[in-house]
Amino acid sequence: MSKKLEYNAATPLYTSDALAWRIDQLDGVMSGLLAAGKPLVVFVHGRGDEPAKSLRGGTFTKGLAVHKIELGYRASVLMFNWDSAFRKPFVLDRTRPLAHAGAGGKRLAAFLAALRAWRKAHPGHPAPVLLVHSMGSIVLQHAVEEGGWLNGEAIFRHVVLSEPDADDVGHADWLERLAEQESVFVTFNADDKVLRKSTDDRPHGAHALGLGTDQPLAPGARYIDLTGMGAVGSDKDDDHEVFGKGAMNGQRFVCEFFEQALRGEDVVLDPASNVESVSRGQVYRLRVEYAPDAPCLKIPKLPQEKVPDAFAGLPPSSGG
């Protein structure tokens, strides 16, 4: 019987085999991940019972985000875990995860410092991609404010904020500090029903950035408008995870954007090919093209049961 996965501040890093790692074990983790020869995605999850939700599946949503990324994009994933659980049974609760986002941001900043040092010591490896989902964007905001990018050097090939739950009001202040150093993309979707319900503990006049915004934008970031493009606005909460190929409703250009971004390739945003319109100089509305049989849109077979933990019964720090 595999051990139950529970949040542990001492081991904020997880690989897809459900092993937990300390930040000081990063060298061994990276060696193992890169041995597969695949692009590396660092994933910061959103609200929920983590790390179990992203690794073994959720109770209220399908979850399995780590496997959606690894299998859907032929990548390796290193997940950063923060204390994101809501107050049960209040699945819309933001209060508890918000209270822990600051501490998560400090640990994320510490992890980024270690990752930057690792990259300097191993310059021959391709840069990883950072994917930050939903309330993970608030943890990222705290990490930026904690000095996660103080030295003026990029850590990642791209940084993708997937349906960010961070407040739209004032977001440009911290996001531009990031975009000055990194290639940053932010997805919008006014139809995202999860973010529409994510309203408590917001400043007056603010809403989730992932719904779109009329507030000032971060000049160095690029915003991707997915509004009206399909299943993201459905009743299936797992479709809030727009990077999952099952949530793309057969939209070829949505898939190709995530394929390019998460695999660390050059991202094409061209009105002559995949962009319907550009507004405010940096908000790209992707062209609608329903092509469910396109190779990019092949939906991977996700684990049907909870992922077994080969190291069940060992101490949480035994991942190294």
**For 45-88, what is each residue's pLDDT tens digit?**
999 999 999 999 865 567 899 999 999 999 999 999 999 987 76
Whether the pLDDT of residue 2 is over 70: the answer is: no
Q: What's the DSSP call for residue 307? A: P
Whether the pLDDT of residue 320 is over 70: the answer is: no
> Between these two residues, 90 and 302, which has the higher pLDDT value?
302
What is the share, in percent, of the chain residues with pLDDT greater than 70?
A: 88
Report which of 130, 128, 126 is spatially closest to residue 144, judged by C-alpha positions. Answer: 130
Rounded to 5°, angle at Cα 173 from 224 and 223: 5
**Which pLDDT does position 50 carry in this prediction?**
94
Question: Is 227 within 8 Å of 212 (Cβ atoms)?
Answer: yes
Tell me the C-alpha distance between 235 and 232, whole Å: 8
Tell me the C-alpha distance between 137 and 150, whole Å: 18
End-to-end CA distance of the chain: 21
**Which pLDDT does position 90 carry in this prediction?**
61
* Tens-digit pLDDT profile for residues 129-139: 999 999 999 99
pTM of the predicted protein model: 0.92
Q: For the chain, what is the mean pLDDT?
A: 89
Characterize the bridge pairing of strands 275-279 and 222-225.
Answer: unpaired
Residues 6+ apart with CB under 8 A from 292: 250
Q: Which residues pair with 129 in a beta bridge?
A: 41
Instruction: Say whether 266 sits in a helix, a strand or coil.
Output: coil
Residue with tokens 């989902």: 133
Q: Which of 142-146, 182-186, 283-287, 300-304 has the lowest mean pLDDT?
A: 300-304
Interval 12-17 mean pLDDT:
97
Rounded to 5°, angle at Cα 199 from 194 and 202: 140
**Which pLDDT does position 149 carry in this prediction?**
87
Handedness of CA 91, 93, 98, 103 (dihedral sign): negative
Question: How many residues are listed for the chain in this entry?
Answer: 320
Residues 6+ apart with CB under 8 A from 284: 222, 223, 224, 225, 269, 275, 277, 278
**Which pLDDT does position 89 carry in this prediction?**
55
Whether the pLDDT of residue 91 is over 50: the answer is: yes
Instruction: Say whether 240 sits in a helix, a strand or coil.
Output: helix
**Which pLDDT does position 240 carry in this prediction?**
85
> Between these two residues, 93 and 273, which has the higher pLDDT value?
273
Segments in the chain forming alpha helices (H): 26-34, 52-56, 65-73, 95-121, 136-145, 171-179, 193-196, 252-262
Under the banding of pLDDT at 50, 70 and 90, the label for residue 304 is: low
**Which pLDDT does position 185 carry in this prediction?**
98
> Between these two residues, 17 and 232, which has the higher pLDDT value?
17
Measuring CA to CA, how many Å separate 1 from each of 104, 309, 312, 314, 319?
A: 30, 8, 7, 12, 18
* Tens-digit pLDDT profile for residues 189-205: 998 988 999 998 999 99
Whether the pLDDT of residue 271 is over 70: the answer is: yes
Tell me the C-alpha distance between 97 and 139, whole Å: 10
Tell me the C-alpha distance between 153 and 15, whole Å: 26
Rounded to 5°, angle at Cα 168 from 145 and 159: 55
Under the banding of pLDDT at 50, 70 and 90, the label for residue 186 is: very high
